[in-house]
Amino acid sequence: MHEYSIVDSLLQLAEEHAIKNNAKKVTKLEIKIGVLSGVEPDLLKTAFDTFKEGTMCEEAEFIMKIQPVVVRCEKCGFEGELSKDEYLCPQCQSGNIKIIDGEDMYLMSLELETDD
């Protein structure tokens, strides 16, 4: 399961930022997961809860925002979310669409607790 390696990288990144900012712990991580990213949110949450123990993220709230597929139609110019798993423009039914969001996973924000 690649969710374990993703969580490992996420925890390392969060700790690097915490150390750079002289924080004593990470209190919140917020990520955005595209529905086409290949990441299974439930498995990611389970992996995070398992591997955060003993890290600066041990008490961190883990927030996942699921990003639907957003496309731009090269024929009519429509730009918006696809509501179905049909990769056709919802307005003109063209198959000439470009996916502009929903394929990636991003760390959107971290909240850190410092001694200040």
Number of domains in the chain: 1
Is there a binding annotation on residue 2? yes
Range of the domain at 13: 2-114
pLDDT tens string for the chain (116 positions)?
A: 589 999 999 999 999 999 999 999 999 999 999 999 999 999 999 999 999 999 999 999 999 999 999 999 999 999 999 987 788 999 999 999 999 999 999 999 999 998 76
Residue 87's CATH number:
3.30.2320.80
pLDDT of residue 69: 94
pLDDT of residue 87: 87
pLDDT of residue 70: 96
Is there a binding annotation on residue 17? no
Is there a binding annotation on residue 57? no
- Contacts with 115 (C-beta within 8 Å, 6 or more apart), sequence order: 22, 24
